[in-house]
Chain A
Amino acid sequence: MTAAVTFNNVSIIFGKDPDAALKLVDQGKSRDEIGHETGMVLGVADASLTIEEGEILVLMGLSGSGKSTLLRAVNGLAPVVRGDVAVATKAGPINPYKTSAKSLRDFRMHVVSMVFQQFALLPWRTVAENVGFGLELANVPEEERSRRVAEQLELVNLTKWANRKVNELSGGMQQRVGLARAFATGAPILLMDEPFSALDPLIRTRLQDELLEFQRRLKKTILFVSHDLDEAFRIGNRIAIMEGGRIIQCGTPQEIVKNPANQYVADFVANMNPINMLTAGDVMETGIAASASETPVSGNAAPTTPLVDILDALARKPGNIGVVDNGAIIGTINAQNIIEGLTRHRRKDG
């Protein structure tokens, strides 16, 4: 794996005199304290993070935690006052804050593209014209543009709607236009700023699935901002949890559930629904349980089998499930194990 984006001690401050605020950042002062003392707004404080090529990393936190701001450091839209951003491109790493204006535009046209929370589509344009917006800015010739636009419309299943105005579409369809616009430039890195937050839950889940489906085919590097831990766990390979401008913890969903770094993360985790994230291996009782000899084994599963499938199996036929890896039984699961597994993240001793 190679790094696609690297943040090295990135600090972002909104205001006229960032140096004064940086001093307080170094003293470990909080966002509120810095705001009170200097009148400046701390966006992000000393964030270091590496996003691997081809992974989905979710930046997660409450509003004001700096997640959207850190996202905008990748394409140079947020005022980074200290630290380094390095984004891998074909021509070597680029720091959007240290490159020329022309190279930055080129970088935004071809290397990173973005999807927005409120879609940010141009309402006076048609669907096709919106999808081609990035290509139009890059002066891609008409013919190639309409070919690439048609490809993207096909991908997001909006071909029929190509000549409609965007405000005739539902929210979910509008965001698919937003996705197609971002895909159209062919940029390998995708920034997604709470893209599904404005949608109702059913549509949200569907678009999450579609995104994962696109990702299987397109293999982009995705930096995804969310305030919803369930969403983060559903789509993220790794999750970075932010609070007050600082990254508190970064790891895989399992690592975060098993080992929350502090009370803030623990509170988040306590309120989430783990059912879609856990696997047979997470809830099983290692070895062959004493009880297993008394009750019948009703089926087998691999350690990576999703917990929901185990639940379905046990609902059909009560008993024990054997967890089999490489031909050997490595553990068993009964109803009690599942209840413990589902509530483990709520208990401190986890």
Chain B
Amino acid sequence: MDWLSSYKLPIGQGAKAFVDWLTTSGEWLFNALSAVLQASIDLLLFLLQGPFLKGTAFEQLYPLLIIVLISAFAWYMRRSLGVTLFTALGLLLIVNQGYWKETTETLALVLAASAVSMTVGIPLGIAAARRPWIYAIMRPILDLMQTIPTFVYLIPALILFGLGMVPGLIATVIFAIPAPIRLTRLGIISTPPSLVEAAQAFGATPGQVLKKVELPFAMPQIMAGLTQTIMLSLSMVVIAALVGANGLGVPVVRALNSVNVAKGFEAGLCIVILAIILDRVFRTSDAGDVA
């Protein structure tokens, strides 16, 4: 077997060289990207945590205000008393357990990651639906993104973006974005040809066909993509904590390191509550649920 292992193909070195090259030549790009993402997370945190009230009498009340707002949003989305009540009680329990700050951080990360995944994923899905060759290139990359162990791309994310929320966000987006891309494409290519033909027969431009026929037809799939993205993002919180992202992942990691069953269970329960709330609020319909 010597002949087989005597020369080792330089795959690892190749990857390292590529990341080195990215680090040096793409520094400005990654810095800019990092700044934008950090700013959007900061904005979300600012809204969720209300630091402007620090030291005032309202500091204690702010979480309650946010809980009321989130419950109202749950009512607006679902018109269901059960979901609204669960949202309010679940979030109150989190406050009671003392994990509110971590929960807002996780929520900010999940919302930012989902927003990035959707804004990048939907156009890519449309492009993939329009041009088969684009999808042919994209497909192996998407497969790779979904199968490669997360820890592997945490390393370059760490190098390129430093410690903190941003590399956690990037890793989360890489993990979640294949869902909206695939589902958007699926929704668009499954538009009945007769509907597209009818639009053309009445003089629709390609843009009008997309806006008035294909996207509305694909909307249930796109919404399913959103639900999946949120759930996939939430499943990344613990891993994101390893690269320094704040949130509910941090107490979980600490509990693991110190074999602290109580703390681990508390933080885990908070993640589960958050997952149930997000799933129930954003799930489009039980019938069309693919996730």
User: What is the interface of chain A, defined by CB distance below 8 A to chain B?
Assistant: 75, 77, 104-109, 112-114, 116, 118, 120, 122, 124, 133-134, 136-138, 181, 185, 191
Contact = CB atoms under 8 A, between A and B. Distances in A.
How would you classify the secondary structure of chain B's contact residues: helix, strand, loop or mixed? helix
Interface stretch (B113-121, B198-206, B249-257): B198-206
Contacts of B192: 120
Contacts of B204: 105, 137
Given A137-B208, A137-B212, A120 B194 contact: yes
A75 B213 contact: no
A138 B203 contact: yes
B203 A137 contact: yes
B243 to A, nearest CB: 42
15 contacts: A77-B197, A77-B200, A105-B203, A109-B202, A109-B203, A113-B201, A113-B202, A116-B198, A118-B194, A120-B192, A122-B195, A122-B212, A124-B219, A137-B204, A137-B208
Nearest to A134: B202
Contacts of A114: 198, 201-202
A133 B198 CA distance: 10
Nearest to B204: A137
Interface of B: 192, 194-195, 197-205, 208, 212-213, 216-217, 219
A75 B1 CA distance: 69
Contacts, number: 54
Contact of B202 (A104, A118, A185): A185
A75 B201 contact: yes
A108 B216 contact: no
A106 B204 CA distance: 10
A120 B195 contact: yes
B284 to A, nearest CB: 13
A108 B201 contact: yes
B216 A134 contact: no
How would you classify the secondary structure of chain A's contact residues: helix, strand, loop or mixed? mixed
A106 B205 CA distance: 11
A227 to B, nearest CB: 17
B194 A133 contact: no
Contacts of A112: 201
Contact of B200 (A107, A108, A181): A108
A124 B213 CA distance: 10
Contacts of B197: 77, 116, 120
Nearest to B220: A124
Contact of A134 (B194, B195, B203, B219): B203
Contact of B201 (A77, A118, A122, A138): A77
A114 B192 CA distance: 17
4 nearest A-B pairs in the assembled complex, by CB-CB distance: A108-B203, A109-B203, A120-B198, A134-B202
Contacts of A134: 202-203
A181 B201 CA distance: 12
Contacts of A113: 201-202
Contacts of B198: 114, 116, 120
Contacts of A109: 202-203
A193 B199 CA distance: 15
Given A77-B200, A112-B201, A133-B212, 5 more contacts: A106-B203, A120-B198, A133-B199, A133-B202, A134-B203
Contacts of A106: 203
A247 B199 CA distance: 29
A112 B216 CA distance: 26
A121 B131 CA distance: 26
B202 A108 contact: yes
Contact of A122 (B200, B203, B216): B216
Nearest to B205: A105
Nearest to A118: B194
Contact of A137 (B194, B199, B216, B219): B199
A75 B198 CA distance: 11
A224 to B, nearest CB: 15
A136 B202 CA distance: 10
A197 B106 CA distance: 57
A126 B200 CA distance: 20
Contacts of B201: 75, 77, 108, 112-114, 191
